[in-house]
Amino acid sequence: MSWILVTGAAKGLGAEICHQLAKEGHSVVIHYRTSRDGALQTAERCKQLGGKAEVIQGDFSSDQSLREFIHNYQQRFPHTEGLVNNVGNYLVKPALSTSLQEWNDLFQTNLTAPFFLIHELIPSLKKHQGSIVNIGSAGTHAFLSNSYSSIYHLTKTSLWMLTKNLAKELASDLVRVNMVSPGQLENSVDPLHYSRLPMKRYGTLAEVAAVVTFLMHKQNSYITGQNIEVTGGLHV
């Protein structure tokens, strides 16, 4: 049996991605750091929707804890056909108000962890001609400036460049690498008032998860190196 690993999936967008993948018949591994109860609830819902689901705990805050996670994961789930790098931390601060520790912590979780997971899982992803989806942020691929969450935005822009480079590197192995970048959602940490949005409403978790699920389908195997913004026209 092959699995799709979704990181940060105990609640929110990660949980909704798992639900939609399960509804399509996929087997999902639900990663969590501390929210075990939430992860178990996500798994139960996935099973109700017709998929297979397991949970796994992992701390991505250090290189050592990442190594421990991937060792445990590969022992339990040797066959991986998909990876959704959803886990990420957010920081609302201008660049010059950000400490070196905050900088390192954000890059560790938002960039190092996705790279390391891809690096370690790539033999299985090649074998299954798999799909990798990295979760970005609105405005990432336009390289728009962002003064209120500068370092967070920098991590996501870097993740977009990693996505493009890996898409080219892995194309001959038929492994697809894409990014999905949400805009203002119903659960956004720092939302704009909906009246300032082009569609005069917030996006939903289900709308973002649907795009991730689309990119996991084998029938869409000619799509790679793309950043699909689910933003309601925010930066048009």
Report pLDDT digits (tens) over 84-105. 999 988 777 788 888 999 889 9
Distances in Å between the Cα of 192 and the Cα atoms of 42, 73, 89, 156 are 29, 38, 19, 19
The span from the CA of 175 to the CA of 78, in Å, is: 17
Closest CA to 212 of 1, 10, 28: 28
pLDDT of 4 > 70? The answer is yes
The span from the CA of 156 to the CA of 75, in Å, is: 30
The span from the CA of 22 to the CA of 165, in Å, is: 29
Query: What SS3 state is found at 203?
Result: strand
Active site residue 73: no
For residues 86 and 135, is the Cβ–Cβ distance under 8 A? yes
The span from the CA of 61 to the CA of 137, in Å, is: 21
pLDDT of 235 > 90? The answer is no
The two tokens of residue 217 are 């389908």
At 19 the pLDDT is 99
The span from the CA of 129 to the CA of 111, in Å, is: 23
Max distance between CA atoms of the chain, in angstroms, equals 49
Of the residues 32, 73, 152, 202, only one is catalytic, namely 152
The span from the CA of 203 to the CA of 218, in Å, is: 26
Closest CA to 234 of 206, 191, 199, 189: 199
User: How many residues does this entry show for the chain?
Assistant: 236
pLDDT tens, 170-227? 999 999 999 999 976 776 655 556 667 666 777 799 999 999 999 999 999 999 999 9
The span from the CA of 164 to the CA of 223, in Å, is: 12
The span from the CA of 136 to the CA of 116, in Å, is: 17
CA 179: distance to chain centroid? 8
Q: How confident is the model at residue 50 (pLDDT cuts 50, 70, 90)?
A: very high
At 35 the pLDDT is 95
